[in-house]
Structure 1
Amino acid sequence: MKINQVMEIAVKAGKILLTNGSEIYRVEDTIGRICRCYGVDAECFVLPTGIFITVIGKDGEPLSFVKRINDRTVDLSCIEKVNSFSRGLQENIMSYEDAIRILDSIEKEKGYRFGLRLIVAGITALVYTLLFKGTVQDSIAAFFIGMLIYFANEKISRAGIFRFFEYFASGLIAASVSIIAVKLFPVLNIYRIIISSIIMMLPGVAITNALKDALHGDIVSSQFGIAEAIFIVVALSAGVAIILSFGLRWI
């Protein structure tokens, strides 16, 4: 197999991992593992926004491949499938066509249907409301607000608006709809509803990955992850604070 084809397989696998919430050290390990399976010695450097890989060609000249990463989400099933793919290569070397076909099928998987994810978002808000000792009425309100936030977040994401606006808008929606709900039903607790409805937006995976990267020595990637998590929290908080600063007087 040609060296550039090996690089393409490795980078494609790394891209799937990175765009689906994998840790940096896992991406680098997978890229190196795939290259070694094909007898290619590669050096790779991965950041949350890009993959850089260099190998030495047969003529002694270095060959480099750079892949820019723009979108990131969390899908652990994709990560598991790419891990299985890379480890399976150690026992059964695939052709370029077969490897790309498998990676394409993993990348194109749509995951769970939007309707199911919407309901799960509402259930998450409902459960957290009860966990925070809210009433049944609070949890029902949080259920619908959580679904509304997830729906709006999905539409904003598909519209291509910059990422942190999604979280800012989520904070705006959570606070404004909660104020309306409390105005209509004074028995509700606005703070429990807001906290429970936005908790699913908090960057728990990003913080965990940043800490794991730091433990593996990837300090730059760790700092990036922590900074991203801070920006997300600030965006959410700003959206909630702006609405509450003006809306609480109407309750």
Structure 2
Amino acid sequence: MKINQVMDIAIKAGKILLANGSEIYRVEDTIGRICRSYGVEAECFVLPTSIFITVTGKDGEPLSVVKRISERTVDLSCVEKVNSFSRRIQESPIPYEEAMETLEKIEREKGYKFGLRLFVAGVTAFVYTLLFKGTVQDAVVAFIIGMLIYISKEKVSRIGVFKFFEYFVSGLIAAGMSVIAVKIFPFLNIYRIIISSIMILLPGVSTTNALKDALHGDIVSSQFGMAEAIFTVVSVTAGVAIVLSLGLGWI
């Protein structure tokens, strides 16, 4: 297989991993494993938004590829499928066309259906409300608000504005709907509802990946991940704080 084809396969697999919430060290390891499977030694450097691969051609000239990752989400099923793909290649390399077709199929898969993800978002808010000693009534309201937050986040993300604005708007909705609910039903606990409904927005995967990268020595990527997590939390809390500062006097 040609070196540029090996690089195409490796960069495609790395892109899918990075775009779906994989750790940096896992992306680098997978790219290196794929290249070695085809007899190519590669140097790989990955950042949360970019992939850099350099190999040495048959004529001794270095060949480099840079791939920019602009959109990222969390879909661990895609990560697992690419991991299985790379291990399968390591055991028995497959032709270029088959490898690219497999990766494109993984990339096209959209994971769980929107209705199921929406329901799980509501259930998450419901369960956390009970965990925080809220009443069943609080949990039901948090369930509804959790789903509204998820819908609004999906709608805002499709508009194409910057990522942290999605979380800011979600914070506004979480606090605003909670204030309205407590105004209508005064027996509800506004703070438990807000805290529970925004749990689906907290960057648990980003924080965990940042810690894993730090343990593997990827300090730059770890700092990037922690900064992203902090900005996410600040965006959500800013939206909540603005509404509460204006709305608590209305209750």
**Under a length normalisation based on structure 1, what TM-score does the superposition of the two structures give?**
0.99
Structure 2, unmatched stretches of 5+, are none
Tell me, yes or no, if structure 1 residue 87 matches structure 2 residue 87: yes
Distance 1:144 1:202 in 2: 18
Tell me the CA shift for residue 74 of structure 1. 0.7
Tell me the CA shift for residue 90 of structure 1. 1.7
Tell me the CA shift for residue 111 of structure 1. 1.0
Residue 71 of structure 1 corresponds to 71
The one-letter code sitting in structure 2 at the alignment partner of 1:69 is I
Tell me, yes or no, if structure 1 residue 52 matches structure 2 residue 52: yes
Distance 1:46 1:4 in 2: 19
Distance 1:8 1:29 in 2: 16
Can you list the C-alpha shifts for 1:45-88, whole angstroms capped at 9, x where unaligned?
A: 00000000000001110000000001111111111110010011
- Secondary structure of the residue that 2:53 maps to in structure 1? strand
Distance 2:85 2:112 in 1: 21
After the TM superposition, which segments of 4 or more aligned residues of structure 1 sit over 4 Å from their partners? none
Residue 124 of structure 1 corresponds to 124
- Secondary structure of the residue that 1:55 maps to in structure 2? strand
Distance 2:222 2:78 in 1: 22
Quote the sequence identity (%): 77
Distance 1:95 1:212 in 2: 33
Q: How many residues align structurally?
A: 251
Distance 1:163 1:240 in 2: 17
Residue 102 of structure 1 corresponds to 102
Distance 1:165 1:39 in 2: 45
Distance 1:139 1:90 in 2: 48
Distance 2:90 2:32 in 1: 12
* TM alignment of 1:1-251, pairs within 5 A: 1-251=1-251
Tell me the CA shift for residue 161 of structure 1. 1.0
Can you list the C-alpha shifts for 1:95-151, whole angstroms capped at 9, x where unaligned?
A: 000000000000000111111111111111000000000001100000000000000
**Under a length normalisation based on structure 2, what TM-score does the superposition of the two structures give?**
0.99
Cα-Cα RMSD: 0.5
Distance 1:81 1:112 in 2: 14
The one-letter code sitting in structure 2 at the alignment partner of 1:45 is F
Distance 2:90 2:240 in 1: 50
